[in-house]
Chain A
């Protein structure tokens, strides 16, 4: 089954404690991205990756890091989480190019930073 898998689904952590949210896709997509969703603000892109070892900042990258060492994985790293990073996070993947831009989303990770 084609899917994007995020882990964990729920996470409560303390300010400053480094954490990683994993994302994996099995569709051989080149493009992967991370979004955060906050009430009234919709989906905002954090980082994206066009392919292995190619990453770039989205609209709200501050406080986040990503890496793309393999095509299927795109982890989101919070080196020193702060309460304003409490949010619902989504990973998505898609093919690159005008022919098909349909993004497939994971089920989300609800992060609470206290």
Chain B
């Protein structure tokens, strides 16, 4: 099936640093979503993107829907310890309804 390539797999950063992660696909997606998963919990939606080129912010988080519709990135500015977790990208392939494809996640560790 279709796959999303999410990178990096893991990041170890200092508190206060900015973070960037991205997802790429070989095919076009209609929607890009970014989720965060805290230990022992289900993924929680951070940002949803529905239009190519769209740039959306949610507090310190900013995400963009790539103009080619085959990629998306998530930036976190001025990281804090509670940003620790696994971040997943997810995309809805063109022509599908409801089905989401997930990346394998980026595990973020923040050192105080």
Q: How far is the CA of A81 from the CA of B88 in the complex (A)?
A: 28
B104 touches A108 (CB 8 A): no
Contact residues in A for B97 (Cβ distance below 8 Å)? 31, 50, 96-98
The contact size tier of chain B is: 20 to 34
Please tell me if B59 contacts chain A, counting CB pairs below 8 Å.
Answer: no
Chain B residues touching A, majority SS: loop
Q: How near does chain A come to B50, taking the closest CB pair, in angstroms?
A: 8
Q: Which of B14-22, B41-49, B68-76, B77-85 contacts A (4 or more CB under 8 A)?
A: B41-49
Residue in contact with B33 in the complex, picked from A33, A90, A98, A102, CB distance below 8 Å: A102
Taking CB atoms, residues of chain A closer than 8 Å to B42 are 4, 90, 92, 105-108
> How close is A104's CB to chain B, nearest CB, in angstroms?
7
Which residues of chain B are within 8 angstroms of A107 by Cβ–Cβ distance? 41-42
Assembled-state Cα–Cα distance A4/B43 (Å):
12
Distance to closest chain B CB from A106 (angstroms): 5
Taken residue by residue from 82 to 114, chain A's Cβ proximity to chain B (1 for < 8 Å, 0 otherwise) reads as 000000001010111110011111111000000
Our pick among A30, A41, A103 for the contact of B104 (Cβ within 8 Å) is: A41
Known: A40-B104, A48-B98, A94-B98. A105 touches B44 (CB 8 A): yes
Chain A interface (Cβ < 8 Å from any Cβ of B):
4, 30-31, 33, 35, 40-45, 48, 50, 59, 90, 92, 94-98, 101-108
Q: Which residues of B contact A (CB under 8 A)?
A: 1, 30-31, 33, 35, 40-45, 48, 50, 88, 90, 92, 97-100, 102-105
